Each structure stands twice: as C-alpha cells, then as structure tokens.
Amino acid sequence: MYGNEEQRQLYARSKEYLEGDVNLPAADRLPELRSLLRYHEWRYYVANDPVLSDFEYDSLFKLLEALEADHPGLITPDSPTQRVGSDLSGDFTSVPHLTPMLSLGNSYNAEDLAEFDRQVKRMLNMDEAVEIAYAVEPKFDGGTIALVYENDRLVRAATRGNGVLGEEITHNARVIKSIPLTARFIQHGLHRVELRGEVIIRKDRFQQMNAARAEAGLTLFANPRNTATGGLRMKSPTEVAERNLEAFIYSFGYGTDAEGNDSVQALGTHTQALDVLAKLGFKVPAMGYERSQAENIAAAADFCELWEGQRETYPYEIDGMVIKVDNLALQERAGYTSHHPRWAIAYKFAARQATTTLLNVEYQVGKIGTITPVAKTEPVALAGVMISSISLHNEDFIREKDLRLGDKVLLERAGDVIPYIVKPLEELRDGSEQPIEWPVTCPINQTDEAAPLVRAEGEAAWRCPVCVCGAQNLQRIVFHVSKAAMDIDGMGRRYVEQFYELGWLKTIVDVYRLPYPEIAALEGFGDRSADNLRRSVDTAKQNPLWRLLHGLSIHHLGKKASQLIAQNVDHVLDLADWSEDQFLHIKDIGPTVATNVAAYFANPIHLEQLRELEALGVNVRPTEEDRPAATVTEGPFVEKSMLFTGSLQQLSRKEAQERALAAGARIVSAVSGKLDILVVGEKPGSKLKKAQALGTVRILTEEEFLALVGG
C-alpha cells in the first residue's frame, strides 16, 4: 500500500506540521494534510500499527479542521473531517449499517468540555444558564461492533468499516460469550434493533495469552486493542473463541417496533436505555462504577478526571471517557456532522505512546561498575511529560529490539511504569541508521589503562571490573553514605556529587577526611552546616561493623550477609585471610557472596583503604549491635516455638514475648504443625480453634505461662 520511502516522508512531514514548521498557502496545505491523515488512518485501522500518538493524530486533524473552517469552499467530501477512518480490508462481505457509525469529537480537559457544553446549548437554542444532564462512561479501546437483533435473535454482527458499510463477522460474534444470541427486546417494544459496542480483551487475559505465545515461540500481540480488533477478523470462530474477547455495549444505534417506527426514544434517556440493555443480559458499563449520570458538564468533567486517575487499575484498556447528552430527544435534536454526533464527545486521556528519533546512547556506570545504556532522543511529550532520555537497561535489550542510532522509535509510558522503548519503526529506516557500538572498556574512561568490561554468566549486565576513572567510586560513595549503609545524616547524593566535582571525594576513605573549613566557605553552607556534617560523620564512625561491610559496595553483599559476616570476625581485616570456604561455613552465606567477598579482600588496594579508614577512626570491629542475640540454652521453653493469641491481662504482648524469648522460646507468627505452644489470653480467635484441631499444640493460659517463666 505505502512504500518505505513514501512512509518515511509522510512521517517526517507529519512531524513538521506538528512542530509548526510548514509554511505553505492553504490551498497546498489542505491536500497535503488530508493525505497525511489518510496515511495515519491506514497505519491505525488497517495495519494496526500507528506511527503517531493519538494526540499527534488528533492535532493534525485539528489543523485540517481549522484550515477548512477558514476555507469552507475548499472542503471536499472525501476529506478525513467529512467521513470516518475506514478499516475495510476486503476479507469479509460488506454490509450496510442501519444508521451510519461515526467517530467522536475530542476533548482533553474540563475547559474543552465546558466549550462542548456551550456548543450543545447553542445548537439546541438553550439558555447558557440551563444545565444539561450528561451520561459519562469509559471509552473502551478495542474494536467497534454493530449487532442487529430481529425478533429477539442476533441476526448479524459487523465491524464499523467505513461507517456506512461494515464487514460482516456474525460467526465470530456468536462465540463471544458476553453477546447474547437471544434477548427479549420485544418486551420493550423493540422488534428490530442495532446495538453498538466495543469488543475488548481484559488486560490480564492479554498478558496470559502473550505469555503462552512466548512459551510456544509464537509472535506476540502488540497490545490489547490489536488483539481485540484482530480477533474479530479471524477466519475461524474457534480461534476467536480462544482469544477470550468480551463486548461492552454502549448504545442503541437503531430500534423500531413491529411497524417500523422508532421505539428507542421512548426509553427516555441514554441512562435508561443502558439500564434496559443490562436487564436484557448485555454487558454494559455498571451504573455508579463505570458510568455516571452527571447533572451538568462540571460533574461530567469530575467523573472523567476520577477515571483518568484510576485507569491503570481498571481491568480493561480505556483511552478516555465518552460524554453523551443523556436525554434521547435532545440527542436527536442536536444531530450529527458527517463525522461525529454533536451530542457526544470523547474526553481523551494523555497519550501513553509517542514516536521520536533515537539520537544517541550514553552509558552510566553504577557503584559496582554495572554499565547502563541510556537513550537520548529528540524531546517528545509522553503522558504529560517531556521525555528525552530513556533507560535501555542492558545490551540484550538493544540487541533484541535491534535498535539503531537514528531510528524512529515508539515509546510508551503507562502509569507508574518508567518510560521505555517499545520498538524501532523499521519501515521508516532510510539506511543511514547506525548500529549501536557496545563499549569494550569503561565508557567514561576510554584510555589504554581501562580494563575490558566483563559479563558474568547468567547476568544481563556488563560491568567494569576495576574502575580507574572514578565513575564507579562516585556511585559507591553515594551508596556508602546512604541510609542503607553508613547512614550519614545530611549527606545525600547532592553533596557527594558536589564534593566529588570539587575533588574532595575520590574514594569512600575521603568521606572521613573532608575539608570542613572549605565546606563552610561554600555557598549555601556556613559554619553551622559544616559542623553538623562533621558531627554526622563522627557519629557514623561508631557504626556497627555490618554497616561498614555493606557500605563497601561488594557485589551481591546485602545487609543480611553483611550482618552474618560481622558476627564472625574480630576485625574487618581478618577477612583478608579467609578462604572462600570459610565464608561458606557461615550459615546462609552462599557461594556468590563468598566468591565476591573473598575477591574483594584479596585486593591490596581495598585492604589499604580499610587500614586508612581504621586510622581515621572508623570502627572496624563488631559492636554490641553486631553480636547475635545470645542464644538461650536453658529455660522452660528451650527449642520450643511459641505463639500468643487473644488479649493478655497482666503483661503486654511485647513483654510476654520478651519473657518467652528469655526462657528459650522462638516466637512464630502462625499456627502450623510446627507450633509447640500456644499461649491464650482473653477472647482468642481462630488461632485457638486451629491449634485445638491440630491436636499437637500445647495450650497454656496466661497464668500457666507466667508460672512457668517464674511469675
């Protein structure tokens, strides 16, 4: 349909229009904008793979609308503003809809909605002060479907197609369980109806399906929307059934009685019409949850904002909300343009996808030398923020996606998830894209002395094994002073970076010999802050040994392992003489930690640093806090597991537990076959029942317990 070279130009030109870089007479801009929009409609509806965000597409659309408003004589009937985008593929029989299926106008905030409200009133010759009630519901992001029922039976289902003609997919609709094959419309005076709805797939089902496909080595579905629209067009209904599609019905398109007279309006409001559909067994947005009847446009806007905030936790993809004049007679009076109803509007949420150009890749070096590639892109708006820098995680990420410098890339940012690159747009390549050269040595220090990067088996990350440039040291110092390690109050990343820039911090040793008079002279410091900092550093010198060990940034040596090792030495430098095996003798220390710690202490530079730290007054021996709580070897409850339940009368729960510990017990949190003793206070609950049912648990009252621990 479109060649690659042509697509590249259409993409580049679209971005130029969006940047406001196009200066042509209106007579030339009009046809160009139309052909750009047609291209994007094709990417979106037919190829199912848009290259612009919806926001960008809508912006181009608005440019065209504005131009046409200024030059009404130049409007052509085939303009994208005059018809809806077509998804007719030719693979199915085309059938005419009973009434045209249109698009929706767009709004992005409460002001847009207020403007829409004013327009509706103008259209209806209503006073500005009169309030119109609106029905508001999610704008489901799937594939549109039109269902025709005659005499209470489903007789036809079709896609939206080009709005006038749809593709007939009745056999596929029949396997979608939420579409009833029969419904008692006649009870409501409806003999022939056309319903409109959206076919979608739950987000979790989508993920399960993709996980299963990945396992089977099949290509993955791009997103839930494509899975749903593609699902509707499967050749075999059994395949459709496997996709677990669902259909939300959101309105009547048409409805007549036995004589062929309209009988939808008699339902009164859109809200009541949906209530009827719900009663008839259709899946419609639930009142009070997914939909609301808003007394005026401000209330409608509030409901939209509420949903924008909770869209991530909703099980289905929605790209906005739809606001509809609730009264069906007013809808009828407001009417339609050739493109959308005048009585409804979409409220679009901020677009979560965007496309931009990958300009460069920079590399960050972490505290243990992990190299993280970061993409630098042409700045682009994504879900409300400007993005120009995105983590690429590791080399495999780059290779798997086949990213190249100069690529046009699709970005996504959903909810709290950090932005990421979904894929390069391969059809938009022109051959000038360059491979991303993965660094062989430290990317910060590209000299001969830099050692080659290493990648441990089974790990995704490349690391710089011996950093000579200091890039790692900076990260190590940041970690060293952080809460998790030496917890130096008042000395966060910002100061570390500042002192590092000034050359005062090269390694962690320098933390303990900072030039305080010079710090006091820094802008924003003064004597007091410098003094406070000195005090914090002095306090940290008395830290338990595990904090120092953890603060050395040894790969894989976490807090727990640091504590275990600190319990087992008299002086940190003892570790220089330890073999890997000795580390493994400590319960809960595994081989990875053993290897890494042994390697660290085999390095004379590190030993020298530790000697310097000791000379500067940093504690290098285990303290009281490092020692394990003395194990009790005598007492009534030695080696017994114990649990308290109900409220105790003479002791607090905490005091009772301390007594139990002192008497040798271990406190556990649940009743199980491993529980030895349950101490029962007043109003015990299910724990007592469970323990009695087990029959193996010794049950003590508070008095009995106190008697055993000696009062």
Binding residues for Zn(2+): 442, 469
User: Taking a C-beta distance cutoff of 8 angstroms, is the pair 444, 428 a contact?
Assistant: no
Please report whether residue 317 would count as binding ligand NAD according to CB under 6 A: no
Question: Shortest approach of ligand NAD to residue 102 CB, angstroms?
Answer: 7
Please report whether residue 408 would count as binding ligand NAD according to CB under 6 A: no
Selected from 59, 445, 498, 641, the binder of Zn ion by CB under 5 A is 445
Ramachandran category for residue 428: left, alpha or beta (phi over 0 → left; psi -120 to 50 → alpha): alpha
Between CA 231 and CA 504 the distance in angstroms is 63
Judged by CB under 5 A, the stretch of 72-80, 179-187, 460-468, 534-542 that binds Zn ion is 460-468
Of 7 and 370, the one with the shorter C-beta distance to Zn ion is: 370
Selected from 33, 36, 84, 469, the binder of ligand NAD by CB under 6 A is 84
Please give the DSSP secondary-structure letter assigned to residue 235: S
Q: Select from 256, 241, 139, 121 the least CA-distant residue to 186.
A: 256
Of 47 and 211, the one with the shorter C-beta distance to ligand NAD is: 47
Question: Shortest approach of ligand NAD to residue 137 CB, angstroms?
Answer: 4
Question: Shortest approach of ligand NAD to residue 136 CB, angstroms?
Answer: 9
Q: In this structure, what token pair is assigned to residue 303? A: 């409901």
Q: In this structure, what token pair is assigned to residue 518? A: 């010079």
Please report whether residue 467 would count as binding Zn ion according to CB under 5 A: yes
Instruction: State the catalytic residue, choosing from 121, 139, 367, 687.
Output: 139
Backbone angles phi, psi at 541, to 5 degrees: -60, -25
Identity at 447, one-letter amino acid code: T
User: Taking a C-beta distance cutoff of 8 angstroms, is the pair 56, 33 a contact?
Assistant: no
Judged by CB under 6 A, the stretch of 54-62, 171-179, 226-234, 557-565 that binds ligand NAD is 54-62
Q: Is 560 a catalytic residue?
A: no
Between CA 476 and CA 461 the distance in angstroms is 17
Ramachandran category for residue 171: left, alpha or beta (phi over 0 → left; psi -120 to 50 → alpha): alpha
Selected from 10, 11, 29, 44, the binder of ligand NAD by CB under 6 A is 44
Please give the DSSP secondary-structure letter assigned to residue 444: S
Judged by CB under 6 A, the stretch of 49-57, 150-158, 226-234, 502-510 that binds ligand NAD is 49-57
# residues contacting ligand NAD (CB under 6 A): 24
Q: Select from 595, 600, 594, 700 the least CA-distant residue to 644.
A: 700
Please report whether residue 322 would count as binding ligand NAD according to CB under 6 A: yes
Residue 54 binds which entry of ligand NAD, Zn ion, none, CB below 5-8 Å type-dependent:
ligand NAD
DSSP one-letter string for 112-171? HHHHHHHHHHHHTT--TTSPPPEEEEEEE-SEEEEEEEETTEEEEEEE-TTSSEEEB-HH
Paired residues of 138 in beta bridges: 321
Biggest distance spanned by C-alpha atoms of the chain: 101
First vs last C-alpha separation in the chain: 89
Of 53 and 271, the one with the shorter C-beta distance to ligand NAD is: 53
Please report whether residue 282 would count as binding ligand NAD according to CB under 6 A: no
Residue 85 binds which entry of ligand NAD, Zn ion, none, CB below 5-8 Å type-dependent:
ligand NAD
Q: Select from 356, 352, 319 the least CA-distant residue to 14.
A: 356
Residue 613 binds which entry of ligand NAD, Zn ion, none, CB below 5-8 Å type-dependent:
none
Q: In this structure, what token pair is assigned to residue 65? A: 């609308």
Residue 471 binds which entry of Zn ion, ligand NAD, none, CB below 5-8 Å type-dependent:
Zn ion
Please report whether residue 160 would count as binding ligand NAD according to CB under 6 A: yes
Q: Starting at the earlier edge strand, list the strands of the sheet with 105-107.
A: 105-107, 344-348, 318-325, 134-140, 292-294
Instruction: Supply the residues annotated as catalytic.
Output: 139
- Under the rule (CB under 5 A), what is the footprint of Zn ion? 442, 444-445, 464, 467, 469, 471
- Under the rule (CB under 6 A), what is the footprint of ligand NAD? 40-41, 43-44, 50, 52-54, 57-58, 84-85, 103-104, 106, 137, 139-140, 144, 160, 198, 250, 322, 346
